[in-house]
Amino acid sequence: MLKVQTGQIVEFYSNSCLVLANGKNFKCKIQGRINLVVGDFVEIEPLMGADNFQALVKKRLARSSILYKSRENKKKPIASNISHIGILVTKSPKTGLDFIDKWIAISINASIKPFIVFNKIDSLEENAFSKEKNIYENIGIKAFEISAKFSTHLNYLEEFLTKKTTIFVGNSGSGKSTLASAITGKEILSRDLSNNQGVHTTSVSTLYSTNDMQLIDSPGVRDVSLDHLEPKKIIRGFAEIFNFSKKCEFPNCNHKNDQGCAVMEALRNGEIEESRYNNFIVLSQKKIK
Ligand SMILES: Nc1nc2c(ncn2[C@@H]2O[C@H](COP(=O)(O)OP(=O)(O)O)[C@@H](O)[C@H]2O)c(=O)[nH]1
Ligand SMILES: [Mg+2]
Ligand SMILES: [Zn+2]
pLDDT digits (tens, 9 = 90+) for 183-239: 998 877 776 654 555 556 667 889 999 999 999 999 876 678 888 888 889 999 999
Q: What is the pLDDT of residue 146?
A: 98
Q: What is the pLDDT of residue 6?
A: 97
Minimum-distance ligand to the CA of 241?
3
Distance CA 119, CA 255 (A): 34
Q: What percent of the chain has pLDDT over 70?
A: 92
The better pLDDT of the pair 1, 204 is held by: 204
Distance from Cα 82 to the centre of ligand 2, integer Å: 19
Q: What is the pLDDT of residue 201?
A: 63
> Would you say 161 and 117 are in contact if contact means Cβ atoms under 8 Å apart?
no
* Class in CATH terms, 5-60: mainly beta
Cβ of 181 closer than 6 Å to ligand 1, yes or no, is no
Distance from Cα 102 to the centre of ligand 3, integer Å: 21
Cβ of 172 closer than 6 Å to ligand 1, yes or no, is yes
- On the question of pLDDT at 169 being above 90, the answer is yes
Q: What is the pLDDT of residue 225?
A: 85
- On the question of pLDDT at 266 being above 80, the answer is yes
Q: What is the pLDDT of residue 52?
A: 74
pLDDT digits (tens, 9 = 90+) for 110-151: 999 999 999 999 999 999 999 999 999 999 999 999 999 999
Which CATH code for domain 231-288?
Answer: 1.10.40.50
When pLDDT is cut at 50, 70 and 90, the band that residue 82 belongs to is very high
The better pLDDT of the pair 2, 254 is held by: 254
Cβ of 194 closer than 6 Å to ligand 1, yes or no, is no
- On the question of pLDDT at 48 being above 80, the answer is no
Cβ of 120 closer than 6 Å to ligand 1, yes or no, is yes
pLDDT digits (tens, 9 = 90+) for 25-39: 999 999 888 999 999
177, 191, 199, 215, best to mutate for ligand 1 pocket (most atoms within 8 Å of CB): 191
Q: Is it true that 66-217 and 231-288 share their CATH fold?
A: no
For 102-117, what is the mean pLDDT? 97
Distance CA 40, CA 64 (A): 9
In three-state form (DSSP H/G/I as H, E/B as E, the rest C), the secondary structure along the chain is CCCCEEEEEEEECCCEEEEEECCEEEEEEECCCCCCCCCCEEEEEECCCCCCCEEEEEEECCCCCEEEEEECCEEEEEEECCCEEEEEECCCCCCCHHHHHHHHHHHHHCCCEEEEEECCHHHCCCCCCHHHHHHHHHCCCCEEECECCCCECHHHHHHHHCCCEEEEECCCCCCHHHHHHHHHCCCCCCCCCCECCECCCCCCCEEEECCCCEEEECCCCCCCECCCCCHHHHHHHCHHHHHHHCCCCCCCCCCCCCCCCHHHHHHHCCCCCHHHHHHHHHHHHHHHC
- On the question of pLDDT at 86 being above 50, the answer is yes
The residues spanned by each domain of the chain are 5-60, 66-217, 231-288
Minimum-distance ligand to the CA of 256?
3
For 43-49, what is the mean pLDDT? 88
Distance from Cα 251 to the centre of ligand 2, integer Å: 45
CA distances from 279 to 35, 213, 222, 263 (A): 33, 33, 17, 14
Q: What is the pLDDT of residue 289?
A: 45
- On the question of pLDDT at 19 being above 50, the answer is yes
Q: Give the atom of ligand 1 at the shortest distance from the alpha carbon of 181.
A: 15
The domain defined by 66-217 folds into: Rossmann fold (3.40.50)
